[in-house]
């Protein structure tokens, strides 16, 4: 089974392809240092995945709706807004004209919304790239909407909703008595996606749970596709450094060009074959994660367990499973040491 980043880049790449986007794909990053981010060119934007608390989502949503009604928060700084999570980051109340920003109106749509933030702010005139009619038509439709209405339009778009739902895994276990306020927020499995990208020479962070877009201070430097990797690396490093102690659950994906057209043009058949194999693996993983095998697994477990005593179940199933899991962990550690030796 592929690791989280490989799964995410495959899911996000297939998602934009289902939106009829041509010439783009997502790339996994194992580090946030500027050298690593600069290895991928052009880098049109990033999606940052991090651990989130359900109470923070609810609090931000309330503040977001209040801000839409005209409230001003935080320190008394004209033209800027602040929140309790990013208390030192000024949030532009009036973003540059032409910047697409939408409020996230439903909790489980943050990944799709982060992807849309990149596509609907994609720089024009990029060779071999076409964001397609779905994105273009939606952008034109919501151009005059405020962020709240844009968020509602995303959730009401049949095309976008169909693509989003196609990646949802059916869940046969729904605990209707579960109270969100009783969750263990440090281990509740909630994650959030935000987009970072250069727009009009500025470094934007687009988070649908904020009332407004965030424009990061980069010391007056112009943010271009060339300077973006180094500048956004500093922002991400600061963000990770300010995370709760010991919290290292995050991932980073970049939006870049699909290399296959270039590989075809230069006749690199080996490189093209590797890319096609990679996409075939993504497609296979995506197909598997859309299925639910709980019923099959349950039937197999009942069939096997019914023939074993408690002692046999412990020795033949539980202990054997633990041994195989430990062996797999050791293999992964050994592989990481070979690939990333300590200096």
Q: Which helix (H) or strand (E) holds 60?
A: helix 54-68
Cα 220–222–228 angle (5° rounding)?
115
Order of all β-strands in the sheet with 80-81:
24-29, 250-257, 45-51, 191-199, 202-206, 214-216, 91-92, 80-81
Q: Find where tokens 């952008």 sit.
A: 139
**Catalytic position from the list 110, 164, 200, 216:** 110
Residue 51's SS3 state is: strand
The question of whether 103 is a catalytic residue gets the answer no
Q: Locate 132 and state its tokens.
A: 């397609």
Q: Does residue 334 have a cis peptide bond before it, meaning omega lies within 30 degrees of 0?
A: no
**Catalytic position from the list 27, 164, 192, 210:** 192
Cα 173–175–176 angle (5° rounding)?
130
The pair phi, psi for residue 91, each rounded to 5°, is -115, 120
The question of whether 110 is a catalytic residue gets the answer yes
How far is it, in rounded angstroms, from Cα 98 to Cα 103? 16
Beta bridge partners of 301: none
Catalytic residues: 110, 192
């Amino acid at each position: 089974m592929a690791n989280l980043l490989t799964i995410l880049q495959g899911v996000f790449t297939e998602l934009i392809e289902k939106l009829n986007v041509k010439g783009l794909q997502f790339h996994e990053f194992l580090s946030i240092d500027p050298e690593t981010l600069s290895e991928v060119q052009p880098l049109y934007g990033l999606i940052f995945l991090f651990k989130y608390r359900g109470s923070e989502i609810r609090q931000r949503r309330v503040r977001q709706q209040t801000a839409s009604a005209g409230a001003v928060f935080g320190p008394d700084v004209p033209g800027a807004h602040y929140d309790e999570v990013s208390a030192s980051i000024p949030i532009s109340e009036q973003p540059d004209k032409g910047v697409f920003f939408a409020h996230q109106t439903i909790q489980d749509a943050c990944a799709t919304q982060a992807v849309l933030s990149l596509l609907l702010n994609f720089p024009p005139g990029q060779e071999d790239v076409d964001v397609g009619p779905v994105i273009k038509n939606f952008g034109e439709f919501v151009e005059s909407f405020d962020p709240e209405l844009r968020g509602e339009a995303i959730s009401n778009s049949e095309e976008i909703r169909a693509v989003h739902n196609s990646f949802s895994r059916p869940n046969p276990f729904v605990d209707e008595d579960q109270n969100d306020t009783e969750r263990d927020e440090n281990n509740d499995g909630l994650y959030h996606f935000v987009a970072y990208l250069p727009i009009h020479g500025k470094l934007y962070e687009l988070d649908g749970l904020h009332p407004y877009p965030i424009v990061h201070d980069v010391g007056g430097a112009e943010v271009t596709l060339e300077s973006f990797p180094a500048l956004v690396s500093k922002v991400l490093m600061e963000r990770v450094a300010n995370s709760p102690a010991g919290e290292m659950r995050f991932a980073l994906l970049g939006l870049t060009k699909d290399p296959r057209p270039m590989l075809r043009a230069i006749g690199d058949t080996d490189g093209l074959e590797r890319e096609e194999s990679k996409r075939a693996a993504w497609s296979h993983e995506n197909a598997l994660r859309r299925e639910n095998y709980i019923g099959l697994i349950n039937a197999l477990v009942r069939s096997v367990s019914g023939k074993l005593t408690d002692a046999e179940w412990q020795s033949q199933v539980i202990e054997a499973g633990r041994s195989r899991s430990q062996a797999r962990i050791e293999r992964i550690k050994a592989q990481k040491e070979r690939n990333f030796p300590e200096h």
